[in-house]
Chains A and B, each alone.
Chain A
């Protein structure tokens, strides 16, 4: 995202410049040409900003899908691999916690940097409630599920693990569904 912002600004400026250029040669400049160019440039920049925000939505959604896929893979591996079951359960729990927190620790650091720049990842900037996809209520459910997965233990049956996977799918689909 950090690299996209200057590129977007540059792109918008170039587009604005291109839009303004045909007016420049030969003809006498209109009195409002500078303001027109500025408005045009700003419009392009606004378009870029809006599209970048949409891109942020899609990026975060794809990150969450990645966590979900990893969690399900670990749950399936836990069902197959009795010896490594506890490790897979812990890994699955960690991925579910990442969904709940809408990002791992690296993403949390990025969110703090965005907040410093005035861009909050939270739906409610004032109260810092609700992430972009995961609401506080959904987060609580996911955290509780992560705890249950981590406690499932070495003796968890395939049916237990399948049930946990199904519950994860349900919570996840609910979280990323359009509000």
Chain B
């Protein structure tokens, strides 16, 4: 693998009141210390190539989830993972959420799995720093999201559990303090996806938590398989017939604590839907963050931000609550990306087996149209049971491709060959060919041929070579680390957008123009399935050897505008201070990345 050492160009970008001030002075980026050799751009895109390297990289923690037979639905949902730079050294570390192992006869807890934090050594390997960092926890873990909730410049972790959730405040010295109870976010339900976002534009991050099912450990241990799957084999029951958990919205008080503001914000989960995936994104591009929730076996929610910190649920008529057939699907994971380059984020939702994944084309104004059939996704995705998903530009051709990880929840399907299903499944890789998603999974390298019962997916450039790698969790297995070894074609740019507190500016939106193409990215906490991707933005640039313009809209509405950025490097941009927007500020000297 051609390992390129990326460089930072640390910029204090000039901010302007709006883009309608073209005569205002622009602040050019600092020159790069060196420019990596520009790769040749082939006429046809190369096939993606992923290689599985978790064991060699030192990621060995087995992620448990119940007993071998999966008698209760809790044993089927798995746990997530995060790519997160917890120590601020510029390298992506790995956090793994773990659940418990159960015995079957008699049904009892065999082992309480512990969450794990791995520090990136910078040489492609990781060291287990869980004990030192104080983030192990032996709850039955489910998901994780990351952001700096207390504006101290350090990224914190929120872990959803079957039982009280945990909030790990990053002390900045390599250790964390568990403060969920003190902060008021120790939700006792069965938490799944979660996401931090600034709901009310007050400069601090609020929190949405999807809760799945209302049950308890006695029911888990006494569960028996009673449902006949496809008239062949007895499998676990649910979620249909079980009581859904109510999602929660916590408003940040600005003092390190939150309050449950679910009802006052208009986010009361009266349907008691089976919430799993959470996407916090400005889907109507009106400057505030909307929330999309993928619900299992219920209509999905789309909460429109009213601009004042309250929300209106519009999923039922927006076109994104049901599929194009008017059917509520079994939603699992969710992500958003601009598939067709029209500047609006389309929404992708993964669903259960024997049903298709759904791509909702964003038509503006929070109106969506199910284009799964037109995209050819139906036939490809129908049989698999789909979970984590993410849009990303794997091949640097200046559009977003799509990765989906799969795995059944019923191990019993392996006993019945005529079902043509398997518990362990391969992931999907869809290459974006001029707005059309083409299934090239079988040509995407040996890493993409690994069949596991996958659940979580996080995306990030852990080896700092400029392309995006994949972290995948699987049931009763160590994670997979799928290193992206795709032959280098187009150029790339990574953006680290830091707010005034020095932490990732969750909610910031960047629009980049180069070689006649415009691309949009948004910095998000949450998304995918119970997992957290790197809190930085990655652009493939194709043949563009420079970024003509980069516009960043920061949370709160300030804008930065940068021209003629060099490529094939990591650039850090800081949110302009209040009052510094009219004249801009001189850039600080470029600093090396390490």
Contact = CB atoms under 8 A, between A and B. Distances in A.
Interface in A37-85: none
A115 B240 contact: yes
Given A93-B317, A97-B317, A150-B317, A106 B242 contact: no
A139 B326 contact: yes
A108 B273 contact: yes
B243 A116 contact: yes
B242 A90 contact: no
Contacts of B321: 97
A96 interface: yes
A42 B314 CA distance: 46
B326 A100 contact: yes
A98 B241 CA distance: 21
A113 B240 CA distance: 10
B48 interface: no
B-side interface size class? 20 to 34
A168 to B, nearest CB: 13
Contact of B317 (A96, A108, A128, A140): A96
Contact of A115 (B241, B269, B319): B241
B272 A136 contact: no
A147 B367 contact: yes
Given A100-B326, A108-B298, A115-B240, A94 B272 contact: no
B127 to A, nearest CB: 46
A116 B242 contact: yes
B318 interface: yes
A112 B270 CA distance: 12
A94 B317 contact: yes
Nearest to A108: B271
B299 interface: yes
Contacts of B272: 108-109, 112
Contact of A112 (B244, B314, B317): B244
A93 B320 CA distance: 14
A150 B240 contact: no
A43 to B, nearest CB: 29
Contacts of A96: 317
Contacts of A146: 316-317
Interface in B316-362: 316-319, 321-322, 325-328
Contact of B319 (A108, A136, A147): A147
Contact of B316 (A94, A113, A115, A136): A94
Given A112-B243, A128-B240, A140-B326, A106 B270 contact: yes
A112 B319 contact: no
A21 B273 CA distance: 48
B273 A143 contact: no
A142 interface: yes
A144 B326 contact: yes
Nearest to B228: A126
A150 B318 contact: yes
Contacts of A136: 326-327
Contact of A109 (B241, B270, B317): B270
A143 B240 contact: no
B271 A151 contact: no
Contacts of A97: 316-317, 321
Nearest to A93: B317
A13 interface: no
Contacts of A108: 271-273, 298-299
Given A96-B317, A97-B317, A146-B317, A109 B244 contact: yes
Contacts of A112: 240-244, 272
Nearest to B241: A115
A151 B367 CA distance: 8
B353 to A, nearest CB: 15
Contacts of A109: 244, 270-272
A170 interface: no
Contacts of A142: 326
Interface in B255-277: 269-273
Interface in A103-139: 104-106, 108-109, 112-113, 115-116, 128, 136, 139
A106 B240 CA distance: 16
A96 B313 CA distance: 14
Contact of B243 (A113, A139, A149): A113
Contacts of A128: 240
Contact of A101 (B241, B244, B316): B316
Nearest to A142: B326
Interface in B262-300: 269-273, 298-299
B271 A106 contact: yes
Contacts of B298: 108
A142 B325 CA distance: 11
A146 B368 CA distance: 12
Contacts of A150: 317-318, 367
Contacts of B326: 100, 136, 139-140, 142-144
A43 B511 CA distance: 71
Nearest to A128: B240
Given A116-B241, A128-B240, A151-B367, A105 B314 contact: no
Nearest to B304: A90
Contacts of B271: 105-106, 108-109
Nearest to B327: A136
Nearest to A129: B327
Contacts of A104: 270
Given A97-B316, A105-B313, A143-B326, 16 more contacts: A101-B299, A104-B270, A105-B269, A105-B270, A108-B272, A112-B240, A112-B241, A112-B242, A112-B243, A112-B272, A115-B240, A116-B243, A136-B326, A136-B327, A139-B327, A143-B322
25 contacts: A93-B317, A94-B314, A94-B316, A97-B316, A97-B317, A105-B269, A108-B272, A108-B273, A108-B299, A109-B271, A109-B272, A112-B241, A112-B243, A112-B244, A112-B272, A115-B241, A116-B241, A128-B240, A139-B327, A140-B326, A143-B326, A146-B316, A147-B319, A149-B317, A150-B317
Interface of A: 90, 93-94, 96-98, 100-101, 104-106, 108-109, 112-113, 115-116, 128, 136, 139-140, 142-144, 146-147, 149-151
A-B pairs with the 3 shortest C-beta distances? A105-B271, A97-B316, A93-B317
